[in-house]
Amino acid sequence: MTSLKILSSCHAATAFVKKQKSQKMKVKIETLSRKIADLSGTIRATEREVRAEDISFLHNYKAAVKRVQQLSVLDVPQLDIISYTPVILDPNTAHPDLILSENLTSVRRARKQKVPENPERIYLYPSVLGSEGFNSDIHSWDAEVGDSPVWALGVFSRSANSEDKKCNLLKLVFCDGEYTANSSDGPPTVLSIRKRFQRIRVHLDWAKGKLSFSDPDTDTHIHTFRHTFTETQFPYFNSVNPHPLKISQRPLHVVIVPHLARLCHTAVCYIQQETILA
C-alpha cells in the first residue's frame, strides 16, 4: 500500500510540474498577444494618417512619431522571455541511486533510496527516462554535462524489460575522457573525439531512423546512429556520479505575422520621408 502511495505521489508530482510550466507559458503568451494587438492598432492608425490625401498627417506628425517610437516596447529581446524545457524527467523510471531536482529537469547520483518497485523503473543502470516518448516527427534536447567524468545520453525503448541486459537502448557514453557509441544490437564503438564538451545535443529523427549527438555550442558533430525505429523512444539519461546532468531550457520565440511587419515598415518609411520634407 505504501509503494502505491509513493507511486501515485510521483505521478502527481510530474503532472503538477507540467501543469505549472504550461500555466506560466500561457500567461506570458497572453501578455505578448495583448502587446502585439496594441502594436497592430498603433501601426494601422499611423498608416491611415500617412496615406491621407491632405496635409493632416503633417499636423499630427509629432503624435505619429511618438506612437511609432513607442513600438520599441515590444522589441526583439522581449520576444525571448518565454522559455521551456523540452524534456521532463519521469521519477517513476529513476534508478534507486538517483535523485531528481524538484522541477524534474536534472539528475544526480546519491545514496540508494527506498522506492516502489514499479515496472517502469530501470534497475540495471543508474538511469532515468523522459516522461514523454516519441514515435514520430523530429525531436531534440540539450543536456548540460559540465565536468562530469562519466555520463550517458540516448534513447530507450520502454517495451524492453527493464531488468534485461538486452534492452533496446542507443546511447553515447563518456567515461575517463573517452566517447563510445553503444547499441543493444552490437558491440560498442570507440570514437576518435577527445574534446570535453559542456553540453550535448540529442537529435532524434524517428521517421528517418537517425539519432545524432553534437555540441550545440560549436556545432560539432559527435556521432549518428542509424536504426529502424518501430517503438516509442524515450529520452535516456545516465549519471553514475554526484555531478548533475541538467536539461537545458530553450527560448520559445514569438513570431509577428508578416502583414504586421509590413505595416510597421510602411509607417516608419512614411515618417522618415515626411521628416525629410519638413
pLDDT averaged over 10-residue windows placed end to end, the chain, 278 residues: 52 63 70 70 66 56 58 50 86 94 93 84 91 95 95 84 64 96 91 95 97 97 95 94 92 56 47 43
pLDDT value at residue 2: 52
Give the gyration radius of the chain's Cα atoms.
26
Q: Give dist(CA 9, CA 29) in Å, integer.
A: 30
pLDDT value at residue 26: 72
The C-alpha cell at 24 is 506560466
For the domain spanning 85-250, the CATH number is 2.60.120.920
For residue 103, the surrounding DSSP H or E stretch is none
pTM summary value: 0.66
Instruction: Name the residue among 123, 136, 115, 143 with its Cα closest to residue 202.
Output: 143
Contact call for residues 92 and 106 (beta carbons, < 8 A):
no
**Biggest alpha carbon distance in the chain?**
82
pLDDT value at residue 185: 82
Contact call for residues 225 and 181 (beta carbons, < 8 A):
yes
Positive or negative torsion for Cα 162, 168, 172, 178: positive
The C-alpha cell at 172 is 553515447
pLDDT value at residue 111: 82
pLDDT value at residue 166: 55
DSSP 65-76: HHHHHGGGGG-T
Domain boundaries, the chain: 2-82+253-277, 85-250
